[in-house]
Amino acid sequence: QVQMKETGPGLVQRTQTLSVTCTVSGFSLASYGVHWVRQAPGKGLEWMGVIWGDGNTNYNSGLRSRLIISRDTSKSQVFLIMNSLQTDDTAVYHCAIGSFWYVMDAWGQGASVTVSS
Amino acid sequence: DIQMTQSPVSLSASLEEIVTVTCKASQDIDTYLSWYQQKPGKSPQLLIYDATNLAAGVPSRFSGSRSGTQYSLEISRPQVDDSGIYYCLQSYSTPWTFGGGTRLE
């Protein structure tokens, strides 16, 4: 059974660096791409980026300069690291995978992150 | 980046009608279009993939269609439980992009 759980700091200071971890079970990170999607309060979904099974990454154009997605396959963990945080980075951060590479049909519950000024 | 223009922003429906949500892509995305439903405080759930295929466990009152670069999600005789926000997503090329969402009441 596929399971995914995000853990994050909850509260981060403006200009600091955010680190969120997605811990997965029920599948191998070498076989599936893991996506990050965020949702600011009252706003829509924003695709942030993906780390594919082969380890390659793709990023949202607007976040590419301050975002890194990495993983530790031995620990079944994927990491989202984003620097230079601003208050509009306040959001729920989700990780997700898909049975097919072009969809997302399994999502974590999300980690709520507030950026404080 | 491919832009996905979703409409309407919101709509309310009665239980006897057919509800239609539309997404228009800024360029050809073939059938790499999926639809998601999100309920308050919950993670999104996949409804439709490949523009027209129903995801596992999704009621048959949901359907998807395509006409060129315009994609539609239809809900026949929506139920109260169908209330939520619906999003389209293009996965034809990175960066993937979502539509702005449609709130259904």
Q: For the segment B48-61, what is each residue's pLDDT rounded down to a tens digit? A: 999 999 999 999 99
Using a 10 angstrom Cβ sphere, with 0-12 exposed, 13-18 middle and 19 or more buried, the burial of residue B99 is: buried
Q: What is the pLDDT of residues B63-97, one digit of tens each?
A: 999 999 999 999 999 999 999 999 999 999 999 99
Q: What is the pLDDT of residues B12-55, one digit of tens each?
A: 888 778 999 999 999 999 999 999 999 999 999 999 999 999 99
Least CB–CB distance from B95: residue in A45, A59, A96 = A59
Q: What is the mean pLDDT of chain A?
A: 96
Token digits of residue A53:
């099974």
Distance from CA of B17 to the nearest CA of A (A): 26
Instruction: Give the residue from chain B lying closest to A110, CA to CA.
Output: B43
**Beta carbons of A58 and B55 less than 8 Å apart:** no
**Residue A108 reports pLDDT greater than 90:** yes
Res B13: pLDDT: 83
A38 touches chain B (CB under 8 A): no
- Terminal CA-CA length for chain A: 40
**How crowded is the C-beta side of A72, counted as CA atoms within 13 Å?**
7
**Beta carbons of B46 and A104 less than 8 Å apart:** yes
| pLDDT confidence bin for A79, thresholds 50/70/90 | very high
Q: Are strands A45-51 and B33-38 parallel, antiparallel or unpaired?
A: unpaired
Res B15: pLDDT: 77
Best A102, A107, A109, A112 member to test B by mutation, with max B CBs in 10 Å, is A102
